[in-house]
Chain A
Amino acid sequence: MPPTRGATVADRDPQAHLRRISEALDGDGALPHPLDPEGAAFLDAATRLRSRMRVEAAATPPDVTDAVLERVRAEPKARPSPRPLSLVAAAVFVVAAVGAALAVRPGGPIAPEPVLADVGERVLQAQQDVLALDAAVTLVERGAHPEVPVRTYAGTLRYQAPERLWLHLVQDRTSLATGFPANDLDLVVDDGRAWSSGLRGCPVDAQPGCLGDSDARVVSGLAPFAADWVAPLDLVIPVDAFLPGAELAASATGGGVEITTTVARLQRTIDGLRAAGALRAVHATDAVRVELDRDTFTIRRLTVTAGDTAARVAWAASNGYSEPAGTAVLDLTLTEQSLPGSPFPTAPIAVERDAGFADRADPGGPAPTWLPTGFSAHRGGVQHGSGATTTVRSWSDGRAWIRVDVTTERAGDALVGGLGPIVRALEVGDGTGYTDPTGSVVSLHDDGIDAAVSGSVPLAVLVRVAASLPILGRELPEGWPQGEVLESLPEGALRPAGALIARYDGVDLLVALPGPGQTSAVLRQRPGTTLGPAAKADVSQVEVRGVAGRYEPRTQVVTWVEGGWIRELRSEGLDLAALLVIAEDLRP
């Protein structure tokens, strides 16, 4: 049929004609004119359809207000510090900057992809659905040594929930440098037994002589999700970057979700990759772009790019790295595919270390009466060592896990669970519990019994599990260092806008500023009016909260004097800009 007079080229395609009508119905463009009979019929039918959709019978929506308020009030009373907002703001800025840089490509500008609102929440949810992953792995490593500009690897990653994982990488022999042995590596965690083989990392300046030969290290008797040899589960799905309930700006890409952040935020993922062999080190402030699968939130690609902050430059100089800023120093890809053969190899013959855990079908001791839906019993048993015996139970759902340690033989006047010196109190059921600044573990103390609840789940879940234990947490006895927490600060001292987590260390006042991954910071304050002499030559002058201060890049410390107080803000994973933002947000 010849086109109607006045019709466009697109109208010759009936589908394009109908699509224009559809778009015009939604206020996007004008109706094509004239309408052919097919178009008129489509318009008529679509208009009737709209009427039916918009006059649907008004069902009464349920009122979920009370249920929601009950749930949100059940979350820990000590609310997390709002400091991560600053980090989110910084991350948004970085994403915006990167987005702007990417907005023009060969072929013309592209529209930025929409930003995801709650990727962290979804990652935490999705971990429960990851039951197994087989993937082909490639890795490109740049700048490991001045004589090794690039090394490439190929291999596999096999994972079975909750804690069986094998990372196998073989260096491409065409990327071997003279005098350097092949950096092949294996890392296997198979429930209570783990081993790794490969070269051992050593100072860059001493390579290749210090690398020696590849060898194996074997550990048995590992407790479930053992803190001293944690299966690098964050290589599968980066949960740690989003605990405790911290978000990151994310953009949707074709089939994926892309996040731009720093190594500090994804430290556990990077550590998992570097847990075997002699892969190069990266700095906490190096940029990371990670792409997650949009459906499963497993990692598809992770790229670490050398940064150019003063701290990074100082670190690189002292560790023998010389790559220019912007170099993609690690570029990892994971391509999900079916892999043949037996998934988990047996450990090589090697000296074996016993970590002291014995599996038992029923470890005894108190157990929680509440667990999140879907969690089922994983391994349990008894941990010996450090002068105490601890019963351990664990539960898992996919990659997500929860572990409860209970002991009647606590050693010393300290909470169990490795909380560190600064803790904060929480309401746990009808009693009191304690958590570390980042909320990764909940510890209970009662007469003659102590417990710790940890896991890859938000603090609110840990608290609820702890509250279901037959242990009523008490406030810490007089004299326990961790019990000397402050509920208020002396006049003139600064604190974050959110929860106060502080204690004295001698005359110094310590205030914790928690953050996910390695992005936590500590503010140390003491009365004083002058800074001592700078210890290092590379100290730079900076403006902090409107006054002159200084920044020491090697230790990543900002120091300043304000209002009769000497203040020192320190973080392993935050660069100067982030530290200054945090300092700005502090208040009396």
Chain B
Amino acid sequence: MDEPDPRVIRAAAAGDDDAFTTLMRSAQPHVWRFLRHLLGDEETAADVTQETFVRIHRSLGRFRHQSRFSTWVFQIARNAAVDEQRRNGRRQRLLGAMAPSSPTPDASLGSELRAALASLSPRLREAFVLVEAFGLTYQDAAEVLTVPTGTVKSRVFRARLELVQWFDAGAPDEDASDEGGHGG
């Protein structure tokens, strides 16, 4: 995602709808794609994309220009996705059903790859998607996920290892720990 002109961000924060629309049109394909990876279905991703931008609109005045705008946007999108998953999990519990442990396969990806991604735990999947699909640095991904950089390194590595194993030999090692990272 390209970094927008800070003047556009400031104008949007001051209530300029055109500036906000410019920001939204530029960022929403990336946000939707990110959420589709996390949530696994396009309709839910669209709903949460909408929620993300409503939250961004409310929060723009608090963006301090001390971090990358794209990182800030991804963090809000990720939080909205976590909230959606929690609500969905609660709905599932209230219905007496098991919460889905994996997302619905993403139809736009190759069948093997989507099955492989769906096999990852949510923590590994979100770290891997940010770094691998969106090219975020470990540091930026750590800011989005609010974990130490070392944890991101560890999670991306675990995800890669599981995916490589999945393609080589089938099911990944489900017991593997996703942690082990250290700060820095």
Residues in A lying within 8 Å of B, measured CB to CB: 18-19, 22-23, 25-28, 42, 45-46, 49-50, 52-54, 56-59, 61-65, 67-69, 71-72, 75, 79, 82, 85, 88, 92, 110-111, 113-114, 116-118, 121-122, 125-126, 128-129, 245, 247, 252, 295, 374
Assembled-state Cα–Cα distance A59/B107 (Å): 9
Contact with A along B4-23 (1 / 0, CB 8 A): 00000000000101001100
Task: Contact check, B163 vs A82: say whether CB atoms are below 8 A apart.
Answer: no
30 examples of A-B residue contacts, CB within 8 angstroms? A26-B131, A42-B161, A49-B163, A49-B164, A49-B167, A50-B132, A53-B113, A56-B108, A56-B109, A59-B33, A61-B33, A63-B25, A63-B28, A64-B50, A65-B24, A67-B50, A68-B50, A69-B21, A72-B20, A85-B61, A111-B148, A114-B142, A114-B143, A114-B147, A117-B72, A117-B79, A121-B59, A126-B83, A129-B90, A374-B87
Task: Contact check, B28 vs A61: say whether CB atoms are below 8 A apart.
Answer: yes
**Residue of chain B at shortest CB distance from A59:** B108
A63 to chain B, nearest CB (A): 7
Given A49-B160, A117-B72, decide whether A68 and B53 contact each other with a Cβ distance below 8 A: yes
- Which residue of B15, B21, B54, B72 is within 8 Å of A71 (Cβ)? B54
Given A61-B29, A68-B53, A114-B146, decide whether A122 and B160 contact each other with a Cβ distance below 8 A: no
Residue B100, interface by CB 8 Å: no
Task: Contact check, A54 vs B133: say whether CB atoms are below 8 A apart.
Answer: yes
Assembled-state Cα–Cα distance A22/B28 (Å): 29
Task: Contact check, B160 vs A22: say whether CB atoms are below 8 A apart.
Answer: yes
Task: Contact check, A118 vs B79: say whether CB atoms are below 8 A apart.
Answer: yes
Task: Contact check, B167 vs A45: say whether CB atoms are below 8 A apart.
Answer: yes
Contacts of A23 in B (CB 8 A): 138, 153, 157
Assembled-state Cα–Cα distance A295/B36 (Å): 21
Contacts of B20 in A (CB 8 A): 69, 72
Assembled-state Cα–Cα distance A49/B157 (Å): 13
Assembled-state Cα–Cα distance A46/B138 (Å): 17
Given A22-B157, A111-B183, A122-B79, decide whether A42 and B147 contact each other with a Cβ distance below 8 A: no
Assembled-state Cα–Cα distance A72/B20 (Å): 11
B91 to chain A, nearest CB (A): 9
Contact with A along B108-152 (1 / 0, CB 8 A): 111001000000000000000001110001100011011111000
Given A45-B164, A64-B50, A114-B147, decide whether A22 and B156 contact each other with a Cβ distance below 8 A: yes
Assembled-state Cα–Cα distance A247/B59 (Å): 8
Assembled-state Cα–Cα distance A49/B172 (Å): 15
B103 to chain A, nearest CB (A): 15
Assembled-state Cα–Cα distance A18/B184 (Å): 19
Task: Contact check, A19 vs B62: say whether CB atoms are below 8 A apart.
Answer: no
- Which residue of B36, B133, B164, B183 is within 8 Å of A46 (Cβ)? B164
Assembled-state Cα–Cα distance A115/B113 (Å): 33
Given A22-B156, A26-B138, A69-B17, decide whether A61 and B32 contact each other with a Cβ distance below 8 A: yes
**Which of B76, B157, B183: most chain A Cβ within 10 A?**
B157
- Which residue of A54, A59, A118, A295 is within 8 Å of B86 (Cβ)? A295
Task: Contact check, A18 vs B157: say whether CB atoms are below 8 A apart.
Answer: yes
Task: Contact check, A26 vs B156: say whether CB atoms are below 8 A apart.
Answer: yes
Given A50-B132, A111-B149, A114-B147, decide whether A65 and B79 contact each other with a Cβ distance below 8 A: no
Assembled-state Cα–Cα distance A79/B61 (Å): 12
> Top 8 A-B pairs ranked by shortest CB distance?
A59-B108, A252-B146, A22-B157, A61-B32, A45-B164, A61-B29, A68-B53, A64-B50
Assembled-state Cα–Cα distance A468/B90 (Å): 27
A504 to chain B, nearest CB (A): 29
Contacts of A58 in B (CB 8 A): 108
Assembled-state Cα–Cα distance A56/B15 (Å): 36
Task: Contact check, B58 vs A245: say whether CB atoms are below 8 A apart.
Answer: yes
Assembled-state Cα–Cα distance A58/B107 (Å): 11
Contacts of A374 in B (CB 8 A): 87
B126 to chain A, nearest CB (A): 14
**Residue of chain A at shortest CB distance from B128:** A53
Task: Contact check, A117 vs B168: say whether CB atoms are below 8 A apart.
Answer: no
Contacts of A18 in B (CB 8 A): 157, 161
**Residue of chain B at shortest CB distance from A44:** B164
A126 to chain B, nearest CB (A): 7
Given A79-B15, A122-B79, A129-B86, decide whether A46 and B146 contact each other with a Cβ distance below 8 A: no
Assembled-state Cα–Cα distance A11/B164 (Å): 20
Task: Contact check, B59 vs A129: say whether CB atoms are below 8 A apart.
Answer: no
Contacts of A42 in B (CB 8 A): 160-161, 164
B95 to chain A, nearest CB (A): 13
**Residue of chain A at shortest CB distance from B163:** A49
Contacts of A45 in B (CB 8 A): 164, 167-168
Residue B65, interface by CB 8 Å: no
| Additional A-B contacts beyond A45-B167, A56-B109 (12; CB < 8 A) | A19-B153, A22-B161, A26-B138, A49-B132, A53-B133, A62-B32, A62-B49, A117-B72, A117-B75, A118-B79, A121-B59, A252-B147
Assembled-state Cα–Cα distance A117/B20 (Å): 18
Task: Contact check, B146 vs A125: say whether CB atoms are below 8 A apart.
Answer: no
Contacts of A59 in B (CB 8 A): 33, 36, 42, 107-108
Given A64-B50, A247-B62, decide whether A46 and B55 contact each other with a Cβ distance below 8 A: no
Given A52-B110, A68-B24, A68-B57, decide whether A28 and B153 contact each other with a Cβ distance below 8 A: yes
B105 to chain A, nearest CB (A): 13
Contacts of A92 in B (CB 8 A): 64
**Residue of chain B at shortest CB distance from A295:** B86
Contacts of A128 in B (CB 8 A): 87
Assembled-state Cα–Cα distance A69/B131 (Å): 30
Assembled-state Cα–Cα distance A290/B169 (Å): 47
Assembled-state Cα–Cα distance A58/B108 (Å): 7
B122 to chain A, nearest CB (A): 12
Task: Contact check, B32 vs A46: say whether CB atoms are below 8 A apart.
Answer: no
Assembled-state Cα–Cα distance A516/B54 (Å): 21
**Residue of chain B at shortest CB distance from A85:** B61
Assembled-state Cα–Cα distance A58/B33 (Å): 10
Given A28-B153, A53-B113, decide whether A62 and B164 contact each other with a Cβ distance below 8 A: no
A23 to chain B, nearest CB (A): 6
